[in-house]
Each structure stands twice: as C-alpha cells, then as structure tokens.
Amino acid sequence: MKYAQIVQGKVQGIFEYDPLPEFASNILMVSVEEIAPIPQPGWSYDGQDFTAPAPQAAPDYGTKISRLALKLRMTVDERKDIRAAAESNADVFDFMDLLSDSTYIDLTRAETVGGVNSLETAGLLGSGRADEILTDAVTKEEQWNG
C-alpha cells in the first residue's frame, strides 16, 4: 500500500509498504490508496485532508532584456527576413540600427513597441507576433543585467 510520510504537518514523501513498519512517534504514516490526486512532498496534512501548496507567483524580471534576448524572441526565418528587408527598407534598417546601438531593450519603451509593431505591419513578423515578442514575461535568462 502507498503511504504519505508526514512530519510536522508536511508530506515528506510517498512510500510503499506491506506491511507498514513502526516509525518514530514524530512520523505519521497515512494511507493514500483512496486519495486522488496522490499528495506530493511539500503538501500539508491537517489530520484529515491534504492540501497542495499555493502556486508561487512567477518572478518579475521587469521589462528590460538584452539585445540577444529580443532577437531570440523571433524565429530564425523572421530574423532572416528582417535582415534582408533592412538592406532596402530605411525604416527597418533604422529600427534595427537603434537596437544594435542600445545598451538594453525596454519592451515597454515607445520606440521598441512602435518598431516591433512596424515589423509585423511590414509582414516581417507573423500575425500577432509583435504582441508575443513585446508582452511575453521576461525570463531570468533574458533579463538585462547592467
């Protein structure tokens, strides 16, 4: 049978025993055979019910990302199309030139928002891609560390 090992009201692990051995008095073993979903380590136990921990909020890494991070938010084909367009389209060239001279990219800055949206309008980014590129949460790997 499967048992949850409880110490100080927290599930420490799920174990299979047949028969259930003796444990120290500070360790409670509770059958989880009839419980769905099976509790996991870190869940609370109040003597009757198991409770999953509250989900942790995703860390907020702000809106500043590295230049590389912005480029990696685009697909390979999008980057190739943008580079090709920059050779003949002064507006695309100017925006990409501004990005290359930037210390970091602020995804909420008006010039960034306008420039990325203009890439979509020009057909260099797929429909809805500007919004994804600008509003997806910044990850730890993307954040600018200046």
DSSP 29-94: EEE-TT-SSPP-TT-EE-SS-EEPPPPPPPP---SEE-HHHHHHTS-HHHHHHHHHHHTT-HHHHH
pLDDT of residue 57: 86
Average pLDDT over the chain reads 95
With bands split at pLDDT 50, 70 and 90, how would you rate the model's confidence at 58? confident
pLDDT of residue 146: 79
Q: What percent of the chain has pLDDT over 70?
A: 100
Domain boundaries, the chain: 2-51, 64-135
CA distance 68 to 143: 10
56 pLDDT above the threshold of 90: no
pLDDT in tens, 113-126: 999 999 999 999 99
CA distance 62 to 96: 22
CB 99 within 8 A of CB 67: yes
Token digits of residue 139: 């990850």
Lowest mean pLDDT among 17-21, 25-29, 54-58, 115-119: 54-58
Q: What is the mean pLDDT of residues 61-90?
A: 96
Closest by Cα among 57, 53, 56, 55 to 137? 57
